[in-house]
Structure 1
Amino acid sequence: MQTAFPAPYLTPEALTTFIRTALAEDVGDGDHSSLAAIPATAYNRAHLLVKAEGVLAGVALAQLIFKEVAPALQVNVLLEDGARVRHGDKAFTVEGPARSILTAERLVLNCMQRMSGIATHTAHLTSLLAGTKARLLDTRKTTPNFRICEKWAVLIGGGVNHRYGLFDMIMLKDNHVDYAGGIAQAVQATHAYLQNTGRHLPIVVETRTLGEVQQALDAGGIDRIMLDNMSPEQLREAVALVAGRLPLEASGGITEQTIAEVAATGVDFISVGALTHSAGSLDLSLKAY
């Protein structure tokens, strides 16, 4: 069972803002279909029906959405976030004002289907790392204004969140290095910036060659080296070169077919943008009963 709010970005304020913005987009000045067809006094119930095999995600969020739409809605959770599910399972029931159930339905499904798809894909790729020390990371390749849900889904699926945004980590990527004039210059400027601004942020340096790996080691004062688009042979050489002095992250073009080989090289982390930008959705439905 997953902790309901397992990451610092999952604050009540952030979740409330997300839900209210999403409802404003969907509901506008009113759910006129429900207002027109359903009596204001109608009281009904529905259940969340799973229609495919995978990992369930978004249950805790669904509870918040129903509460935001109408505090009178009562949710009975049958399956928690992180549960392995199959066709025919019921994740929860909800009962209360019928209009409110219908108003909340699409946002609940949009979030849960997408989150469950990401959690399912994350769990699958994580299983391919068995027997190695590598841990699976997500990236910032997320849907604008939906990152909070996508990152959360990665955690539910057993992955690890990379930086949440541009504000919580210094990542000196290839363009930063090139614009700064080299790795040494970029790292030196970063240290000065952090000192001048009083910030304490982890520093990750992206490298493209073994020569750049050595430059990152020589620069010092960093927290992780990213190995970008390196072959398994290059990754093994980088692992040997670094010799445990810093964590290593493999990144770039890693797929379901190659991830096990990458993990076997001895890297500490593997970041995969496809966790969020290419994962499908799990088929779910909210059905009256």
Structure 2
Amino acid sequence: MENLPYLSAKKIHEFIRLALLEDVGTGDHSTLGSISKDQFGQAHLIIKESGIIAGLALAEMIFYQFDRDLQVEILLKDGDEVNPGDIGLIVKGSAASILTTERLVLNCMQRMSGIATKTHQLSQLISHTKARLMDTRKTTPNFRMIEKWAVVLGGGLNHRFALYDMVMLKDNHVDFAGGITKAILNTKNYLQKEGLDLKIEVETRNLDEVREVLLVGGIDYIMLDNMDYETMRKAVKMVGGKYPLEASGGITEETLKDVAECGVDYISVGALTHHVRSMDISLKAF
């Protein structure tokens, strides 16, 4: 399991419990009605397209949490490159248990593998630069932990996990506060009063706002939001390495390389988690 602050065995077990409750409810009556409780079964996870596999560790936890007597053999590693026909794992034991957990395993792995594959593909486009690809909070409700895990397995970085673990002063915060200076000073006073040690990132929309952030200081990151390439390059030169710079806002696969070559440190792409196609994976009896 990745060493990620939001990821723990306890949280994953709770996710699995709720997901099984949602899917199984009072019982998998299709299976209960057609398969005897002592029927032995075995199935393998078949990869049907090329990409990056993700979610094998989670699949193993799902199987064991539902039925500790199942036997799971993991044949690949999360983050591996895969091709059609590859086998990710083999599960043996109660046929009923395999049938009941099949859809949850596939839902998670197909989604995670799609995210990991997209992250890997985009990261390769900017591998010649210092920029690193990051995700955002544009995730599926109650599935964020799993989606952000998949981004890391694909070679990307996680941005803040949620509202509580980092301060990000976006355009609406700045406008409601009455400007960048007030937003930063109010935030620093609040953090000091509450005894909170949180990183502060400030979104900027133009060079004047970048200049104002530099004058106020006391922050940790500057976001360059929806800036054209020329403005981004000027911002990079203006900041001069004093703060890490994140580019954000409408960045696509077609523009990613050009943005990275402007000299920013990070590029956040919401599409990694909110606009991605799941990988084709099946669990088949044999």
- TM-score category (smaller protein): over 0.9
- SS state of the match for residue 45, structure 1? strand
Residue 69 of structure 1 is matched in structure 2 by 66
Distance across 2 between alignment mates of 1:141 and 1:21:
21
Q: Which residue of 2 aligns with 1:109?
A: 106
Q: 1:141 aligns with which of 132, 135, 138?
A: 138
Amino acid at match of 1:85: V
Number of positions where the alignment pairs a residue of Structure 1 with one of Structure 2: 286
Q: Which secondary structure does the structure 2 equivalent of 1:206 belong to?
A: strand
**SS at structure 2 position matched to 1:164:** coil
Q: Tell me the equivalent position of 1:8.
A: 5
Q: Distance in 1 between matches of 2:242 and 2:169?
A: 19
Aligned partner of 2:35 in structure 1 is 38
Whole-Å Cα distance in 1 between the matches of residues 216 and 149 of structure 2? Answer: 34
The alpha-carbon deviation at position 143 of structure 1 amounts to 0.5
Task: Name the SS of the counterpart of 1:279 in structure 2.
Answer: coil
Which consecutive unaligned segments of at least 5 residues does structure 2 have? none
Letter in 2 for 1:103: T
**CA–CA separation in structure 1 for the residues paired with 2:282 and 2:24:** 19
Alignment of 1:173 onto 2:170 = yes
Q: How many Å separate the matches in 2 of 1:255 and 1:245?
A: 27
Partners of 1:143 and 1:219 in 2: how far apart?
36
SS class of match (1:102): helix
- Superposed CA deviations along residues 117-155 of structure 1, whole A, max 9, x for unmatched, are 000000000000121000000000000111111000000
| TM-score, structure 2 normalization | 0.99
Identity within the alignment, %: 59
Question: What is the match of residue 94 of structure 1?
Answer: 91
The TM-score with structure 1 as length reference comes to 0.98
1:219-245 residue CA offsets vs partner (Å, 9 max, x unmatched): 111000000000111110000000000
- After the TM superposition, list the runs of 4 or more consecutive aligned residues in structure 1 that deviate by more than 2 angstroms: none
Gaps of 5+ in 1: none
CA distance in 2, matches of 1:94, 1:269: 40
State which of 80, 83, 87 in structure 1 corresponds to 2:80. 83
Partner of 1:257: 254
